[in-house]
Structure 1
Amino acid sequence: MRSIWFLVGLLLGAGAAQASITPQSPPQTISSDIAASLRGKLVQSAILARQGQLGAAAAMLDSIVNSDGFMLLPEPERYLALTLDGTIALENGRYDAAHGLLVQASHYDEADDAVWSARLRAAFVLYNYRDAALCVATLSRRWPGSMESVRSNAIYAIQRELAKHGNDAESLDMLQALFDLKWTDEDGEPSGLWRELARLLIDKGDLSRAKAVATRIRSARVALSMRVDKRFDPITQAAPQAFDVDRLMTAEIAEAQTRMKATPGLLEPRVHLINLLLSTREYGRALALADEAIEKVQGSQDAKPYLDFDEQYIWLLNARSDVLEGLGRWDEAAVQLARATRRPENGELNVSQAINLASLYDSLGRPDKALDAVAEVGPLSDFGRMQLEGVKLRAFLQNGDAAAAAKSVAYLREHRIDAIATWQNALLAQGDIDAAADVMVERLDNPRWRSDALVAAQEYADVPMTPVKQKIDALRQAMLKRPRVQAALAKVGRVERFRFAP
């Protein structure tokens, strides 16, 4: 983002240029008097900012942009005033004010990628995902190089929230801009985004463009979700070889291995490969990859032997726990996850691994340990809070604590839209197969929830399960066999058997 000091320099330069002009005659109108006064304040605000008095500078800028005479200033000066005021507000955490100012600034012809990037940052912090999507689309089309500084997880969060609230027009615009840009994430093609773009294009009747989008799907899991969903039949049935999930998974693993070898200083490519090998149940190979990295960390003189150590090491430990679970070594898996929970997540108390550990303890029939694992966690998203209440509910049910369980159920029911599958699983945990079946039908009927529901209904390879998990899986199978669920499945999709782990 353009720095405050750069803007200050522009304003002071403009002020010096104005001062160097010798007036031929005194101002003739009240309007020119007002404009001259505001211009003087504008230069003074820049001086205050240069002196580090950002609060005083912001107050003066606010008075300028909110004054009745603001429009009397020349357009370049109005633009600089809005941009500097918005930039200072953003840096000071006044996000509502910053967003409003930056939206105004972005409407000027002088607006550049710095202004739009700052607007994106403010919109994202304010959970204004529709405006964030507009910013992403605009940056992608007008200043494609600026997208290198936009984190991929922000893009995914924006799309997730747009889909959650049915903002299809905004999704289509953003995704089409990213596709035209040939945008990729850390793992290559963002196949999940391209699936959503293809779906939106099919809904619009633009089949030719939808097919072009589908050619860039590289994920076997995404391809699986498309071939079992009848909405994608115009694409998948026309080119079945392109959606051969076994072929795609083989290619995906080979590409991930190549990338891991090409980036030895990063953990993320290794974690990604391990997770792919979990899908194909190549547990020995996955365990070796995890152990190799852990040994490097433990034997290194460098506190952070990988460039992305702070962000990715907890996920390496998480992946190793998943591998041990796949091998049926559940106690070892729990010990591994417990170690991961001691490490911070995004600089805060750990959330993800703590919830995953509690879930594992639930499946091992150790409810007290599950509750201990989540006794203290960091900041939670709406989705994360649903996962937390889900693991707590299962622990309360195992402990026979009806009152505590009722509180978790009440929260899960009220916030079901934040994670509908979690609500369905909560009903299964209570043994309410019929209610869970009703939710499954609802998910299949809802275009936004359908894909995940269809993926969950498929048949997968057998993997080791604890007795608790076996019981829940039996309830899930009984739910899927309900006639109304079978009818809903047949209406919108199909069930196949895959060699992947569920």
Structure 2
Amino acid sequence: MSPASPTVPPSTRRTRRRWLISRRRTRSGPSPATEQADSGRMIDPARLAALSATSPIACCANASAAAGCGRAAGLITCLGTDAHGLSGASIHRQRAGAASDRGLLGCLRAAWEGLMQTVLRMVMVASLLCVSGCLATHETASGTPPETVAMGDAEEQGGNEAWAYAQRREAAIALARTSDDFITARERLAAVMAEPLFQQVSVSEQRDVLSAAAWVEVRSGQYQPAVRYYRRAVQLDPGDPDDWHRLSMAENVVGNQDAALDALLYLVQEWPHLVDALSAGQVLAMSGTTQTDPAKRMRLMRTLFDANWKREEEAASSLWYDMALALIEHGDREQAKEVIRHVSWPYPLMSMQADRRFDGLLPTEPGYVVVSLNRLIERLEALAGDNPRNLYTQNAWMEALMHAGRHEEVIAISGDILARIAAETPQQPAFHDSDDENFTMEIRYRALDRAGRIEEAEGALVRASELTEFGEPNIRQKLALAAWYNGMLRPDEAIAAIDRLSAMAEAPDLLLRDEQLLIAALIKGERDQADELLMRIREKAGDDDSRLLTRALLRSGRMDEAEEVLVRRLQDPRLRRDALLFAQVSPEPEPLPGSVDYRRDWKALLARPAVKRAIDKVGRVQPYEVW
């Protein structure tokens, strides 16, 4: 199995972390009037009514809010929820005044958030349109001239100031969550926090502002200040699971592994019903690191195992691999054997069969993986049928079919899905999570490539790269598109595809970008530029990136150095998994023109005596009928 082709699905260990955990987007994106760009907070009707009651236009505001709340009941009763795993659910919460937040079903929350945002904006518009009418009514009833009404007493003026401040605060939060004008967003939020009224609002409202400020820093790639804001937010009001989730990710990005794990543990302990909403990428980052307390890592994995975390998802199988290996290292092979029974996806099973540490805990015959895969496909097909409006479930089913080499079925299924999305309307979305369309497109492109439909494959990948990823500018499919262009010997297009990645690109993303830039430089014959990029990859690649370094060395024709890195990976218990997995023999699509030499060199590397000895010492190589 070659780790080079852009048609090879990425390891779940490198799954991008999902920062935006509560979106429900349509193909065309959300309307500003119906959805916040970043949720994690709701507008409570009582809070809205309290704000409007302090205004001289309370009649308009309360009427609008009441009408909106009446519609909410109808919307909530007509929404369905997923009955099985693979829900793609999000961390969500319900606000009741200043009370602690608690989770609701993701789709209910999405509808409620959108509706309440609509109500809030209706109130603000109504405020502007009918203020003069309200003043006139007041004058008619009391005989008091408008000048007297405008002056009011001190209490009324204070109420008006509070109302105006609330509007400024909500506007600053909305700007922070929807605009790419990070400088202005920072200025508006700083101004809101600097006002004396900031200390007078509830702690939950102060937390909303701090959380929004943290999100601005995340979206602009400034993770250190994001950590500081999220820490302040959870210290002030620890009742929001979204903030703990994002604090864990931000701490991890800046290298504070212990703090990241602590935040994630707090989240799963306080909100056990939300474990399926956790970012798979973040959970795997925490379970796979050796820089944290092993007892805490095991506590996280055991908690998720007992909760049957992300049932039937590939991420769960990868996590159970980590857990089983940790148990083996602690001498608890019986418990490890029980955990292994829950592993169903082919790559984790192949990794265990290839690794002698797992001998005796599962069958070693390749046919065992094929049987497990076929059973998995049956279960996922049933789940997809039971959850026809859950796109994530459909994508998982198609990924399993791809492993089985059933790409023609995937082409048909994905075509039907995309036709449904194209026909959807804001009132009748095809899926609860149409924002996962970019992953559907990526799966379709790989299926088309395997079928030899090259032009259609490229078109699907281009389309995938143009869609948002978790609601933000795309990174993963842009990198895949650059790899495709390099494979097609079109280096200038590869460079253009990744010329300006999103500010949210993390260190692993930037290394993948450098790899594609290196390949492009080699294709163009720019050896000096390629050498500079290789040097940068060497300097920045950590242990977890040694597979990428191996690829870069092979591309650069440095076979001896590539051999040293691969042997070192095989000898290191922490890095052995992927090294053994990609040594296995399995069906592959024909290489693109730009990958022919690399495929040849990879096989030559595996055939080297030193590499073969290193493999035989710790594992085995077998042929699999698994793509």
Give per-residue Cα distances to partners, 1:208-236, cap 9 Å, x unaligned: 22222222212222111111111212422
Equivalent in 163, 166, 189 of residue 288 of structure 2: 163
- Tell me the TM-score normalized by structure 1: 0.77
Q: Which residue among 479, 483, 507 is the counterpart of 1:382? A: 507
- The partner residue of 1:216 within 331, 339, 342 is 342
Contact 2:380–2:397 (CA<8 Å) still a contact in 1?
A: yes
Corresponding residue to 2:357 among 231, 238, 258: 231
* Structure 2 CA distance for aligned equivalents of residues 7 and 327 of structure 1: 54
Alignment of structure 1 residues 266-415 onto 2, 5 Å: 266-300=390-424, 305-308=429-432, 310-379=434-503, 380-415=505-540
The 2-side partners of 1:440 and 1:460 are apart by: 19
For residues 372 and 569 of structure 2, what CA distance do their matches in structure 1 show?
27
CA deviations 1:65-111 (Å, max 9, x no partner) are: xxxxxxxxxxxxxxx998886665334437444555567679xxxx7
- Is 1:122 the counterpart of 2:243 in the alignment? no
Distance 1:431 1:160, change over 3 A: same
Contact 2:436/2:469 (8 A) holds in 1: no
Shift of 1:363: 1.4
State how many pairs are aligned.
441
CA distance in 2, matches of 1:61, 1:180: 46
Residue 242 of structure 1 deviates from its aligned partner by 11
Cα gap change, 1:394/1:137 in structure 2, threshold over 3 Å: closer, same or farther?
A: same
Cα deviations by residue, 1:379-431 (Å, 9 ceiling, x for unpaired):
31211111111111111101001232123212211121152211111111112
The percentage of counterpart residues that share the same residue type is: 23
Summarize the Cα distance change of 1:118–1:60 in structure 2 as closer, same or farther, 3 Å threshold.
Answer: farther
Indicate the SS of the match to 1:406: helix
The DSSP-based 3-state class of the residue aligned with 1:306 is: coil
Match of 2:262 in 1: 134
Question: Residues 89 and 341 from structure 1, CA distance in 2 versus in 1: closer, same or farther, beyond 3 angstroms?
Answer: closer
CA distance in 1, matches of 2:557, 2:193: 62
2:621 maps to which of 479, 495, 499: 495
Higher helix share: 1
Q: 2:595 aligns with which of 434, 453, 469?
A: 469
In the other structure, the counterpart of 1:416 is: 541
CA–CA separation in structure 2 for the residues paired with 1:339 and 1:303: 24
Task: State the partner residue of 1:428.
Answer: 554
CA contact (8 A) 1:96 1:126 kept: yes
On the 8 A contact 1:132/1:158 being kept in 2, the answer is no
- Answer yes or no: is the 8 Å Cα contact 1:102–1:115 preserved in 2: no
Cα 1:84–1:436 change in 2 (3 A) is same
Displacement of 1:252 in angstroms is 1.0
> Where does residue 197 of structure 1 map in the other structure?
323
**Structure 1 residues 161, 431: closer, same or farther in 2, change over 3 A?**
farther
1:343 shift after superposition: 2.2
CA distance in 2, matches of 1:291, 1:7: 43
Question: For 1:498, what is the secondary structure of its paired residue?
Answer: coil
Deviations 1:286-336 (A, max 9, x none): 111111122223344569743355521111111111011112222331122
Q: Distance in 2 between matches of 1:277 and 1:126?
A: 36
Residues in 2 aligned to 1:357 and 1:309: alpha-carbon distance in whole angstroms: 23
Q: In structure 2, how many angstroms separate the alpha carbons of the residues matched to 1:444 and 1:480? A: 12
Measured after TM superposition, the shift of residue 486 of structure 1 is 1.0
Asked if 2 retains the 8 angstrom alpha-carbon contact of 1:129 and 1:158, the reply is no
Q: 2:210 corresponds to which residue? A: 89
Residue type at the aligned position of 2:616: A
> How well do the aligned residues superpose, as a CA RMSD in angstroms?
3.5
> Which deviates further from its counterpart, 188-197 or 474-483?
188-197
CA change 1:84–1:316 in 2 (3 A) is closer
Q: Distance in 1 between matches of 2:467 and 2:271?
A: 38
Indicate how the Cα distance of structure 1 residues 342 and 182 shifts in structure 2: closer, same or farther if over 3 A, else same: closer
Distance (whole Å) between structure 2 residues aligned to residue 120 and residue 300 of structure 1:
32
Question: Which residue is 1:77 aligned to?
Answer: none
Q: Greater relative contact order (Cα 8 A, min sep 6): structure 1 or 2?
A: 2
Classify the secondary structure of the residue corresponding to 2:582.
helix
Does the CA-based 8 Å contact 2:226-2:250 persist in structure 1? Answer: yes
Matched residue type, 1:324: L
Letter in 2 for 1:442: R
**2:487–2:594 CA contact under 8 A, matched in 1:** yes
Letter in 1 for 2:251: L
Contact between 1:85 and 1:98, CA under 8 Å: does it hold in 2? no
Bigger drift between 183-192 and 203-212 goes to 183-192
> 2:575 — aligned with what?
449
Residues 38-187 of structure 1 correspond to what in structure 2 (within 5 A)?
52=166, 89-93=210-214, 95-101=226-232, 114=239, 118-127=243-252, 128-141=256-269, 143-147=271-275, 150-151=277-278, 154-161=279-286, 163-167=288-292, 169=294, 170-184=296-310, 187=313
Q: Which runs of 5+ in 1 are unaligned?
A: 12-46, 65-79
Aligned to 2:374: 250
Q: Compared with structure 1, are the counterparts of its residues 61 and 256 closer, same or farther at alpha carbon in structure 2 (3 Å cutoff)?
A: same
2:487 is aligned with what amino acid? S
Is the Cα contact below 8 Å between 1:85 and 1:101 reproduced in 2? no
> Which range moves more in the overlay, 461-470 or 333-342?
461-470
* Alpha-carbon distance in 2 for matches of 1:266, 1:60: 46
Distance 1:206 1:86, change over 3 A: farther
How much does 1:352 deviate?
Answer: 1.6
Unaligned runs of 5+ in 2: 1-39, 48-94, 101-160, 170-190, 215-224
CA–CA distance in structure 2, aligned partners of residues 309 and 105 of structure 1: 32
The question of whether the paired residues in 2 share the 8 Å contact of 1:86 and 1:98 is answered with: no
CA contact (8 A) 1:189 1:217 kept: no
Code of the residue aligned with 1:137 in structure 2: it is L
Which of 452-461 and 167-176 deviates more? 167-176
